[in-house]
Structure 1
Amino acid sequence: MEDSATPAGPGQDGVAAVRALLGAQAETARRAAVVRIGEDAARAAAEAVPCDRVETPDWAGPLADAHPMPAVVFAPVRDDAGRIVDFVDVAANPPARRYAPRQGSPVGHLLTVTQPTSRTSGVFDTLCRAVETGEAIAPQDWADTLLIDGHPRHVAGRLTAAPHRGHVLVIIDMDAERYRRISRRAEEDGLGGWAEWDLPAAATEWSPGLHRMFGLPEGAPPLGLDALAAFVVPEDLPGLHTALELLLREGAPCDVDVRAELPSGERVLRFVMEAVRDEDESGAVWGVQGYIRDVTQVHQVRTRLDAALRDADRRREQARAEARVTARLREALLPAHPPEQAYNGVVSALAHRPAELGVLGGDWYNVRPLPDGRVLYALGDAAGHGLDAVAHMTSLRSGLEGLAFTEHPVETLAAWLNRLTTETHPDRTATAVICRYHPDRRLLRWVSAGHPPPILIRDGRARLLDVPEGLLLGVLPDAVYRAAELALLPGDTVLLYSDGLVERRGCDLSDGFDALLSAAEEYAELPLHLLTEKLADRLLPSAPEDDASLLALRRSGP
């Protein structure tokens, strides 16, 4: 199989898997065929047979071309004793050349080369018998593995061999055999059968499959169309009647599904019928022929599929409604942050990128000046998505804001926030980094609860700050947190961010940190609001899988 030139899209992985499955099975079948025909050994043995060049008689080509089905004229190849040791094709019509080697001459191939199993399958003996007896061999089932361009191909059909002027004409009817096998299999599986109704003679002929379908014993007379209509449920009779009316009056083909009460229970039958007229198609309809098939399983699958599609549409609309409500709720609960705002010598800026449509995360932030002159900076991420995550995020943000007015140190605030999470949301967790700036000492004290470490940009260089130990919020009610301290110098920038900024599915987390550090150094000299926007645009795809937030703090001049 050739590789598709279509660009990879949402469904390409599934197509590739199907292609790989088919390719593997094709290779398995090819190996089995090679083993069966003994490819190399058969070719060597056949080519060792003495074969003088055989001239093609003038009549051979027209004889083969006179037949619409694959037809080949073979000449016998004899040894010194006059025994037939092989056959060579001297003429082949176009349908037959599809199954012959496509390299070199279209004829002149030994039978045992193109059909390595011709001796074991009986084809070789059939051709010998036709030549030696001078009598045609009646059609017989034939199946073989041919070598076409060095590749095995399995074919089957009905083979007829007729002697002619010391040669033998072989005709293979592949279509009849194919249709016969398909029809037999369909009827054996109880899927249906064919029928023909002669209306003037009130005569019916049909295949055994319909006996089984309608619960009739083998040998029982087939039923007329009116008798079949008696099996149809009353609600579906008008549809069958209309289809038959169009068929009989206008000759329009009939293709209609109806429910029928059969011995096996209620089934859905498909009537595919056409009118039988005189050859000029202008006379009256004198008969009906067609196929009746049990399509109950198809209808059941279609019904389940329709139900699944309706359910998927309902769930999709529900998800969209929830996304709209959640987005509005987030907008109402998270205050807008101006491009830059300053409190007591520290400027802050925020960049927030929501997740792709329909996936709402639990990122939250808080910038709050306190009555004693200190400033609270916090950024966190409530686990999960949707309304539950937003509710948890709201609880964390409002709870921390209230606790911050107690003037207790940040490690105590983190411990209280952890207890609040374990008691009010026992089945959920969250991460957070909580900072308090002390303007009198130009000191930033901070604590981390399972959150990515802040980044310090100083003198154009960026580095990760050491993370004090701290469990995620909501894991243990009595978790203890330790604070770290950082003296801010004029121009220092501290970045607080959620994991959505650095985590990518299938990528190492260290790569995300390296990318953030590199970009932070590149944009270090930009105004703070441009720094946050540039970092978000650089690191995040157009439709991030999760919320991503970046809160930047920068100490202004002395």
Structure 2
Amino acid sequence: MPPHPPAGTPAPQPPERAAVDALINRTHRLRGDVDAVRRDTVLVDEDDPRLRWQRALCDLAVHQLDDLGAHLGQLRQGLPSESAEQIATEAADLTGQAPSAGERPGSLIGRVGSAEWNLLTDEVSWSDDLLQIFGRTPEAGPLSLDDLPSVLLPEDQPLLTALVTDCLIDGKPIDGEFRIRHTDGRTRTLHMMGEPVLDADGCTASMWAVLRDVSALRRSQQAVHRTQDSLRRQQDIARAEHRMAVELQEAVLPPWRGSLSLPDQGPGSLDIAAHYLPSDSSGLIGGGWYDAMELPDGRTLLTVGDLTGHGIQATSTMAMILGALRGMAVAGIEPGALMGHLNRLLETSIQPALGSAVCCRFDPATRRLDWAQAGHPAPLLFRNGAGRPIPQPDGVLLGAASGVAYEQDEVHLLPGDVLVLHTDGLARGAGSTHHGLRPGTDTLLGLAPRFSDARSAQECVRTVVEEFGGAERLDDACVLIARIGA
């Protein structure tokens, strides 16, 4: 019995794959165009600062487009990915940081600035944008290479020193990131790309660089990573809970497989078989059960039932209910009174739940079946190639009301009769409702000729599984079939 979602609740819709594919194609084309411009700038005069600047901007754009392509690929694969604006907003909320000065609201592309340090004259030239990135006024001016590490976080200072040293001494290009402490007190992440500028003798005369504030981009990536990590943790927890629920269910439900004969010998013995069908719409285990056991007085208990919910809570409550039911049946409590006790047990449980159940007690000597039900489908009786529901005694759902009484009825069975007990999830969504019957009951009753030809209860169960095993069920289901012997 799955819980019903509130009326009007919209189902979550995944992004249209065609739209994502179109964005990926457009990104790839743009990346190719930018890369072509970047290749052209390699051939130009290296002494032209403006062209060096253009090439550096192309390099940065290629990096950005590669990042964008990776995020779109994640979105197409169904991983947690959001639009750039949504991620930037979430990252700002999580870190308590507003966008950096110069960042466009909702944009991951921060302000870009340029710098050049002349090693021969000690002259330093910074663009106005770079001064704003560092939070420095024109009066304060730019920072020398010796002073630049002082504004970095201590743990990032060795990285910058290594990058600058490799550039000036070994002529290696600079490509790295470091964090600075802005004058407003906040931490910013900068991406720096640069190269040495050589004089006519091949010696390093100056070093130029392009720096971009990538704080919003890195915060957005961290938000994506946190989302992915959270999803993985949730998946791990779900798998663990599913495994525990399966193990608990297997430990509680009867261990017998195939047909069971109760009592072992004598007239009126029952040939019994049962089956559990998992839900097709959910990987979670529900609170359904079936059981059959011989009582101390020689009679036989037959029961099926179902509880709302899924997972550990449902299976643990089912274990409690089934254990109480078995104990009271062994103690000789009548089915109607037994249902009343189960109702009070659910009322006082620390894990509130609703449940439906049917409890039957069969006397092999008289072939009389005493039974009661709590908001559950009536057992179906098949005789002489035809089937019908047994008239129901009154009974409300377990846990739905306090102080209610459950009626008890009896029916006399004949040799060869087939009794089918099932939970509501078996037939949900199958067939239609006719003559006041529950949905799917007509389909079950239509199996009467096959039940009549079956040679065992297990063969009858296989027939039910063949008919309903492929149906789309919102809940798991149990079926128990008993054939009355001569």
Cα offset, 1:472, TM superposition: 1.1
User: Counterparts of 1:459-478 in structure 2 under 5 Å?
Assistant: 459-478=384-403
Aligned twin of 2:339: 414
1:430 alignment partner, one of 334, 355, 377: 355
Q: State whether structure 2 residue 462 is matched by structure 1 residue 548.
A: no
Cα offset, 1:231, TM superposition: 0.8
Aligned twin of 1:108: none
| Separation in 1, partners of 2:452, 2:169 | 85
Aligned twin of 1:259: 179
Corresponding letter in the other structure for 2:260:
Q
User: Counterparts of 1:82-481 in structure 2 under 5 Å?
Assistant: 188-189=102-103, 191-199=110-118, 200-218=120-138, 221-277=141-197, 283-343=202-262, 344-354=268-278, 359-425=284-350, 427-481=352-406
Aligned twin of 1:116: none
Q: State whether structure 2 residue 458 is matched by structure 1 residue 539.
A: no
Cα offset, 1:432, TM superposition: 0.6
The TM-score normalised by the length of structure 1 is: 0.60
Larger radius of gyration: 1
Corresponding letter in the other structure for 1:273:
M
Identity %: 28
Aligned twin of 2:72: none
Structure 2 unaligned segments of length 5 or more: list them: 1-11, 24-35, 38-56, 65-99, 105-109, 263-267
Cα offset, 1:342, TM superposition: 2.1
Cα offset, 1:308, TM superposition: 4.3
Structure 1 unaligned segments of length 5 or more: list them: 1-11, 24-67, 70-174
Corresponding letter in the other structure for 2:469:
L
Corresponding letter in the other structure for 1:189:
E
Corresponding letter in the other structure for 1:257:
E
Q: State whether structure 2 residue 420 is matched by structure 1 residue 490.
A: no
Aligned twin of 2:453: 525
| Separation in 1, partners of 2:471, 2:173 | 54
| Separation in 2, partners of 1:373, 1:310 | 57
Corresponding letter in the other structure for 1:439:
P
User: Counterparts of 1:40-55 in structure 2 under 5 Å?
Assistant: none
Query: Which has the larger strand fraction?
Result: 1
The TM-score normalised by the length of structure 2 is: 0.68
> Which secondary structure does the structure 2 equivalent of 1:448 belong to?
strand
Corresponding letter in the other structure for 2:249:
R
Aligned twin of 2:75: none
Corresponding letter in the other structure for 1:490:
P
Cα offset, 1:552, TM superposition: 0.6
> Which secondary structure does the structure 2 equivalent of 1:362 belong to?
coil
Cα offset, 1:488, TM superposition: 2.4
| Separation in 2, partners of 1:301, 1:218 | 31
Aligned twin of 2:89: none
Corresponding letter in the other structure for 2:480:
L
Cα offset, 1:300, TM superposition: 3.2
Instruction: Work out which structure has the larger RCO, using CA pairs closer than 8 Å and 6 or more positions apart in sequence.
Output: 2
Cα offset, 1:197, TM superposition: 0.7
| Separation in 2, partners of 1:525, 1:425 | 47
Q: Could you report, residue by residue, the CA deviation over 1:440-498 in whole angstroms, capped at 9, with x for unpaired residues?
A: 43232322212233233333344444443311111223112223443323332221112
Cα offset, 1:262, TM superposition: 1.2
| Separation in 2, partners of 1:257, 1:210 | 15
Q: Tell me, yes or no, if the aligned pair for 1:368 and 1:376 is still in contact at 8 Å.
A: yes
Q: Tell me, yes or no, if the aligned pair for 1:490 and 1:555 is still in contact at 8 Å.
A: yes
Corresponding letter in the other structure for 2:216:
Q
Q: Tell me, yes or no, if the aligned pair for 2:248 and 2:316 is still in contact at 8 Å.
A: no
Alpha-carbon spacing, 1:466–1:299, altered in 2? closer, same or farther (3 Å): farther
Q: Tell me, yes or no, if the aligned pair for 1:278 and 1:284 is still in contact at 8 Å.
A: yes
| Separation in 1, partners of 2:371, 2:246 | 30
Q: Could you report, residue by residue, the CA deviation over 1:217-257 in whole angstroms, capped at 9, with x for unpaired residues?
A: 34764333433322111111111222333334454443322
Q: Could you report, residue by residue, the CA deviation over 1:314-341 in whole angstroms, capped at 9, with x for unpaired residues?
A: 4443443343333333333322123112
| Separation in 2, partners of 1:257, 1:520 | 75
Q: Could you report, residue by residue, the CA deviation over 1:48-71 in whole angstroms, capped at 9, with x for unpaired residues?
A: xxxxxxxxxxxxxxxxxxxx99xx
Aligned twin of 1:15: 15
Cα offset, 1:212, TM superposition: 1.8
| Root-mean-square deviation over aligned CA pairs | 3.9
